[in-house]
Chains A and B, each alone.
Chain A
Amino acid sequence: MTFLSLNTALIAAAVAVPTLFILYFLKLRRRDLEVSSTLLWKKAIEDLQANAPFQKLRNNILLILQLLALLAGLFALAQPVITSRSLEGKRQIIMIDRSASMRSTDGDEKDPASKRTRLEVAKQRALEVVASLAEPGLLDTEGDRAMVIAFDTRADIIQTFTDSKAELRRAIESIQPTDNPTRFDEAFRLARAHLPKRKQLEDGNVTLHDELTEGGVAVQLFSDGRLPDIDKLRLQNDTGNRDELTYHLMGDPKSWNIGIITMRAERQYDRPEKASVFISLQSTSTTPRSVDVQLSVEGNVVAIKNVAFQAAKTKQVPFVTDKGEQLETVVEPESRGVVFEIERRDAAVLVATLIHPEPTSTAGAGPDRGDVLKTDDLGYLALPPARQLTVAAVTDGNLWLRIGLEGMRLSRPAKLIAPSAAQVFLDSPEAAEYDVVILDRWLPTITDDKGKSVQGLPPGRWLIIGAAPPPPMGLDDLGPGKSGVALNWKRDHAILRGVQLDDLTFPESRTTEIKPGSPMISLADGPSGPLIVEGSDLTRRAVIVTFNPLVSNWPLKPGSLIFLAKALDYLARDATDTAALSATPGQTITQRLPRGSSGVSLTPPEGNNAKVTLVAQPSGEIVYGPIKSVGIYTLTWDGQPAGGDTVVNGTPRRAISVNLADPFESDITPRSILSTASRVVSAEAQSESGTLRRLWPWLLLGMLGVLVLEWWVYNRKVAL
């Protein structure tokens, strides 16, 4: 039992109880009455007292009752409350995991038939914690304050610190599930950032410290423990005090999930109308299971394949927690892949659906909940149409480049433009028809923020050879560099895979430098700085070769042609690859529409009701996010379609698929032990979450009852 206003009650008791006694014994309330004689009264009193040995006690019954009523009142003033668990921190941070795994329908661990999600149960238990928070006392004490944070990949403060239980309840009830993966560290840092700070003067400098230097942060975490970054979490504040992390575990360790963890499609290089759809599946079931994978193209089922899983392996991992050594059973999910071959030239929306056989009850194991997470039972993919690259090159006649382009499979021969006509070409709408533009020893001019014409890259995909555009989308050119050879390069990068730079020698080069913070990364370094760099920002993507290949031995090497093909393929990937048309929940959708697009709207999977209108930047860039649910998002706009877009009723359309695609999130086995960077925390037992019972209304009721009794006794005594 705790008292909310103990001091007030003690002070009141110190005043009231002696006052009652003084009043009683001094009998201040006696009324003076002059009578003819006190003779008979005195005799009567003497007789009465002589005859009744318990008379004193009977006289004192009123005092005892009054004392009882007063004590009940004082006790009520102290506002006693009973909780089955005492919350030590005065400031609680309630953090609720709303990530995809919390949609699992095994929230109610004890009732397999219940289809309540983990999030629903988490919210319910968070409400219980709110109910158990100390309320502010009537006079002197503050109540417990709490804030509510919901987190998935990002953390949102649903409610800042307040002692209003109504606001906390409203905040908790407003939390909606998402399909996002989980990031906890950021949420925790956000929580700590919102703690009230205390100024402290140290050596003449004012420093800010968390207000709770004594007890640290008291966090109530409601999660299933699927927190991939929990090992980065340090439960310690800046003064070295431990933060309290109370972990409320949701979910049933026996439940299982089979989900799609990746889905992608690739068109065959030589027969682009043929596409292979690769689907990776993961099972966390500790019994062998099979599932049917159904693939539909534009709503029509085209194939069903059965995938059988062996039982997922389990292992016992020992942890030393605050409560001693504990063993946790960790499931190692089983993965399987399935490939569908389809033939389709046009763009299409592919949907993979997992069809589970009817759940059966296994003897002794209780009823099977079945696959508890539906989010990853569907996989979406936006397949771009079969098409090949279009390339333009600004060059004054480069044999190596011309031969290289001629040897490549392009949808039409590369357009070669003389540098003198290049700026006009780039400013014309025709430039948008080309996936990649090659700039051979020539740089375009753009208008900077101050209206000046400077060298730089306009939006687009660029392969720049023998020149270095200025930062940010480029490098600092510091003048002529040394001759030499390539010193090191990234052999595993998509552009340089299979490209040998061992025998590359160049008699001249430029001294270049990547500015810190630049989006550019070096793929190959020479003696005077980067030789090959690549980078991208929202509107531009570029691969830059800083030396002039024509004065090196590189054109004589076959690797140079491979580099050319790979660089073009890499640059144009977002125009031809499914990867550019897919995203995961929690991310933002970033797409580039043709210049001049207007009236852009995005239809989420929820349908037209949730349609949002987006404003495209002048470069055609649109950004939407963060994405909260999986499915197909459809972009429509007024204007020209880009290379891979379909046109329906004259309106260009582009589909973007959003999948959970997170093996960690699909592994829904709850973790009862959280291993943070500073210590290991185990989950609280469910029964420890108690509700707060206020006793003072009952005490007041009791006080009223005693007063009524006292009044009755008094009246009985004085009844004439």
Chain B
Amino acid sequence: MQKIESPTRPTAIDDLLDPRMAARLSQLDITSRKMLGGKLKGERRSKRRGQSVEFADHRPYVAGDDLRHIDWNIFGRLDRLFLKLFLEEEDLSLHIVIDASASLDCGNPSKFLLAQKLACALGYIGLANLHRVSVSAIGGFDSQDQPQLLSTIRDLRGRRRLNDLSRFLIQLRPGSGAPFTEACKRIALTRRGKGVMLVVSDFLIKEGYDTGLRLLMGGGYDLYAVQVLSPQELEPDIGGDLRLKDAEDADLAEVTITAPLLKKYKQTLSAYCNRLREFCAAREIVLQTVPSSTPVDVLILDYLRRKGMLS
């Protein structure tokens, strides 16, 4: 929960993605419950019939069809013209949204580091599978140390772009607070295509996460959410008379840590998480709440796979 004075920051791609893990991730692909159309032919099977090697169906020939697709074997047997239909393989948009507000920069291990690693690993999976990978960071500071609403890297495709992805993730500097809803609105307006969107945040958002998530939900995207909480947020290890300062808006709360208060805090946290879960469930958003101490491979290979995001 507490803000760490000098948190661990990744400096190289290896800090974000272990090569051995990368090897294991290569076998995975992003799945979407929707068969979404992409702009480029990708490695992803589309509902759309197209040109690929995988046979899908036949249909009667009509004037104007490409003669190359006529199934001559059937014509020989039945003396009727049928066209051979193949499944079209399309590309998929994978949009990862990281909350880079100051609240993510707390906890030990850092929540933001887990978010970075998760984004890198999922991005790698997307790139390896020739999806269009975009990453957006809500909040944080730009290179001039100015707070920013949103920073985005778009339309990365192919493994070669992994360096660009990791560089973007490494240069992210969490801090300040940004209006979540406003940022989500901008993401929703600027995203292209259809695909899968993953939001990584702690969802401890004072203005509320509802509107923001609702905005991200539409537009043909499968929405996944990972809520990262630090172990200190789950089990506070503080005591005494404290003046708690909010890392984002410097709001103060004077508390005397007592057993009933801790109990109440846990109840409140639990209720908060439940409400988020219910919100997500009602809107077919897949939510996974994890502590920041969760190893990223466990998170990907176990939790997200089980949730159907990966296959």
Interface status of B76 (Cβ within 8 A of chain A): no
Residue of A nearest to B259 (CB): A719
CB proximity to B under 8 Å, residues A20-53: 27, 29-45, 47-48, 51-52
- A181 CB, nearest partner CB in chain B, Å: 78
Q: Given A45-B261, A720-B259, A40 and B206 touching (CB < 8 A)? A: no
The answer to whether B252 and A31 have CB atoms under 8 Å apart is: no
The answer to whether A37 and B260 have CB atoms under 8 Å apart is: no
Residue of A nearest to B103 (CB): A36
Q: What is the interface residue range for chain B against chain A?
A: 35 or more
Q: Given A41-B253, A45-B255, A720 and B106 touching (CB < 8 A)? A: no
The answer to whether A718 and B258 have CB atoms under 8 Å apart is: yes
CB proximity to A under 8 Å, residues B153-172: none
Residue of A nearest to B206 (CB): A39
The answer to whether A40 and B268 have CB atoms under 8 Å apart is: yes
CB proximity to A under 8 Å, residues B77-128: 102-104, 106-107, 111
- B36 CB, nearest partner CB in chain A, Å: 35
CB proximity to A under 8 Å, residues B247-269: 247-248, 251-262, 264-265, 267-269
The answer to whether B245 and A33 have CB atoms under 8 Å apart is: yes
Q: Given A44-B268, A48-B261, A48-B264, A38 and B246 touching (CB < 8 A)? A: yes
The answer to whether A37 and B264 have CB atoms under 8 Å apart is: no
The answer to whether A33 and B242 have CB atoms under 8 Å apart is: yes
Chain B hits for A45, CB < 8 A: 253, 255, 261, 264
Binding stretch for chain A, among B11-19, B50-58, B191-199, B232-240: B232-240
C-alpha gap A43/B204 in the complex (Å): 12
The answer to whether A37 and B247 have CB atoms under 8 Å apart is: yes
- A477 CB, nearest partner CB in chain B, Å: 107
CB proximity to B under 8 Å, residues A552-570: none
Chain B hits for A164, CB < 8 A: none
The total number of A-B Cβ pairs within 8 Å is 114
Among B107, B258, B259, the residue within 8 A (CB) of A36 is B107
Chain A hits for B217, CB < 8 A: none
C-alpha gap A463/B120 in the complex (Å): 145
Interface status of A361 (Cβ within 8 A of chain B): no
Chain A hits for B265, CB < 8 A: 40-41, 44
Q: Given A35-B244, A44-B268, A717 and B259 touching (CB < 8 A)? A: yes
Chain B hits for A32, CB < 8 A: 242-243, 245
C-alpha gap A42/B251 in the complex (Å): 10
Chain A hits for B75, CB < 8 A: none
Interface status of A176 (Cβ within 8 A of chain B): no
The answer to whether A31 and B240 have CB atoms under 8 Å apart is: yes
The answer to whether A36 and B239 have CB atoms under 8 Å apart is: no
CB proximity to A under 8 Å, residues B20-42: none
Q: Given A32-B245, A33-B244, A40 and B260 touching (CB < 8 A)? A: no
Interface status of B145 (Cβ within 8 A of chain A): no
- A717 CB, nearest partner CB in chain B, Å: 4
The answer to whether A720 and B243 have CB atoms under 8 Å apart is: no
The digit string for B197-227, where 1 denotes a CB below 8 A from any CB of A, is 0000010101000000000000000000000
Q: A35-B3, A717-B258 given; name 18 further pairs at CB < 8 Å.
A: A32-B245, A33-B243, A34-B245, A34-B247, A35-B247, A36-B204, A38-B245, A38-B246, A39-B246, A39-B272, A40-B265, A41-B253, A41-B265, A44-B268, A48-B264, A717-B259, A718-B239, A720-B237
User: Which residues of B come within 8 Å of A, CB atoms?
Assistant: 1-3, 102-104, 106-107, 111, 202, 204, 206, 230, 233, 237-248, 251-262, 264-265, 267-269, 272
Q: List 6 A-B contacts (CB under 8 A).
A: A33-B242, A36-B1, A38-B252, A43-B268, A718-B239, A718-B256
User: Which residues of A come within 8 Å of B, CB atoms?
Assistant: 27, 29-45, 47-48, 51-52, 59, 716-720
